[in-house]
Amino acid sequence: MVRHLVEAGERATDTIGELITATEDELVVVGRRGEVRIRQVDVVAAKPVPDRPWRVAAFLRRAGVAVLDLDGVPLHGPVVPLLDTLATGGAPVVPLTDRPDRVAAELEEIGLARVIPMLLNTDDLGAAKPDTEAYAAAHAAIERRLGRRVAPAEVAFTDDRADHVDGARAFGWRGRLFTLPR
């Protein structure tokens, strides 16, 4: 984070991002708005800012049941430790997919075979997402697999499609749009 003067020193602003270069004359920071060049004479304060926790990860960690639609979610990078943490953290992890054989093979390959028994094939739900009937069918399947009743509000659902998240919320699940951390 770099606080620096703008508008000929009339006010200050903060630029948050990754420090790319620092010379005697200038800092270059890349943030959400792209590359920002800041003159050293305009710097008022600067400090490292810890990474914010990945919002989807924190959301799913607080779930009674974590449901992840894996059809648009890459099974690599930060998703692997997230799935591993969720699977060992006590709350059931339910992957949803319309390609169960492929996803099961990928889960096996990355060492997460323990979540395969909870894998749900979305083609077997009797309705298509984002229809709330699809989430009702998925919810019933989750209860059967767990052998207990599950309140819809216990379920945290994530998908990379906003309409699917909206459909899950309409059913009563808590939903969050999946985005990779920055």
Using a 10 angstrom Cβ sphere, with 0-12 exposed, 13-18 middle and 19 or more buried, the burial of residue 81 is exposed
Identify the pLDDT of residue 112: 86
What is the Cβ-side half-sphere exposure of residue 70, based on CA atoms within 13 angstroms?
Answer: 29
Work out the pLDDT band at 51, boundaries 50, 70, 90.
low
Domain range summary for the chain, segments of one domain joined by +: 2-46, 55-177
Q: What is the pLDDT of residue 27?
A: 94
Average confidence (pLDDT) over 123-138: 88
Looking at the predicted structure, is the pLDDT value of residue 41 above 90? Answer: yes
pLDDT at 49 over 80: no
**What pLDDT score does 181 carry?**
66
50 pLDDT tier (thresholds 50, 70, 90): low
Residue scoring higher pLDDT (39 or 128): 39
Q: In this model, does residue 163 exceed pLDDT 60?
A: yes
Q: 24 pLDDT exceeds 80?
A: yes
What tens digit of pLDDT does each residue of 52-89 get? 556 777 888 888 999 988 886 767 777 778 888 888 87
Q: Which of the given ranges, 69-83, 101-115, 144-158, has the highest pLDDT on average?
A: 144-158
Question: What CA–CA distance (Å, rounded) separates 95 from 101?
Answer: 12
55-177 in CATH: which number? 3.40.50.1000
Q: Residue 104: phi, psi to the nearest 5?
A: -60, -40
User: Mean pLDDT over all residues of the chain?
Assistant: 86
pLDDT at 25 over 90: yes
**Span 144-157, mean pLDDT?**
94
Looking at residues 12-31, what average pLDDT do you find?
88
Say what the alpha-carbon torsion angle 24, 26, 30, 32 is, to the nearest 10 degrees. Answer: 140
Question: 28 or 75, which is more confident?
Answer: 28
